[in-house]
Amino acid sequence: MAPLGYSKNVCEQLTDIIKEAPVTDYSSLNDQAYHTIRRDILTCRLLPGSLVTESELMARYQSGKSTIRLALMRLIHDRLVISRPRKGYRISPITIQDVEEIFTLRAALEPLAARLAVGKVNIELLKELEARCRDEVVAPLSTRIDIFMNANKRFHLTIAEATGNEHLIRTLSGLMDEMARLVALGFNVQRIKPEIKHDHNAMIDAFIEGDTKRVELIARRHIETFQTMTLEKIYATLSREGTLLPVLPGGIFE
């Protein structure tokens, strides 16, 4: 399936959707390179579907060949980079099939996580994270979406972590990272901040009541609603030829 089209001007102006810890927190240059490149992939600073070489990355990230090569190996394992023998590396594209598969998995796994977390999840932490999702700071839209995505990821992973199921936690964490690129192609381009506070609050209420069936139902409805919202915004950026709509002169971001 052909990947969605991308606009360099659009993606270059996308600010952090997923914030990694500062690179100075990592113990080695290899970790620094890996986390920095990974962040740039998730935020479309490195364009989906684009080709890069080791030498280009060495110059861009001021790192040695072995450091970049080890980072690329990890990114290939993460399925964020594809090796192209004798051509370099390709930043993994996003296809319509990817969008559908991500939401299909979330719709299957997050209701399960919510059900298993009943009676175990930290309610006060969920309330705090839900409030962060609604923070309205005086900042560009891209920064406000950044704040939302970080808080939203922590909200959902807090539920998953309460299950104690490490495989479930890792899987959902990866899906939330993939979601960052979808948001970059959808909400950020369309200049709209996602709004999901009603579902979050209803889920918290169900956790407080210990209502397993209700919390599972709300979790499923929440994913389905966000899927509809996200697809609508992504499709709104596409022309009939499958490319992003033209960017206004000077860009469309704040």
Average pLDDT over residues 32-46: 84
Alpha-carbon distances of 144 from 21, 124, 160, 224, 246, rounded to whole Å: 18, 23, 25, 23, 24
| pLDDT per residue as tens digits for the range 12-29 | 444 444 444 444 444 577
pLDDT band at 248, cuts 50/70/90? very low
Given this model, what pLDDT does residue 147 score? Answer: 77
Q: What is the DSSP letter of 24?
A: G
Both structure tokens of 83: 């090796």
* Predicted pLDDT at 145: 72
Q: Which two tokens stand for residue 69?
A: 């090569």
Instruction: Give the residue extent of every domain in the chain.
Output: 8-91, 96-236
> What is the strand order of the sheet 88-91 is part of?
51-52, 88-91, 81-84
CATH fold of 8-91 reads: Arc Repressor Mutant, subunit A (1.10.10)
Q: Is 253 left (phi over 0), alpha (psi -120 to 50) or beta?
A: beta
Give percent above pLDDT 90 in the chain: 41
Torsion sign across C-alpha atoms 25, 29, 35, 36: positive
Q: What is the pLDDT of residues 97-109, one digit of tens each?
A: 788 888 899 999 9
Tell me what pLDDT residue 3 has: 53
Q: Quick check: 56 pLDDT over 90? A: yes
The string of pLDDT tens digits covering residues 170-223 is 999 989 888 877 777 666 655 666 666 578 899 999 999 999 999 999 999 988
**Integer Rg of the chain from CA:** 19
Matching fold, domains 8-91 and 96-236:
no
- Check if CATH label 3.40.630.30 holds for domain 96-236: no
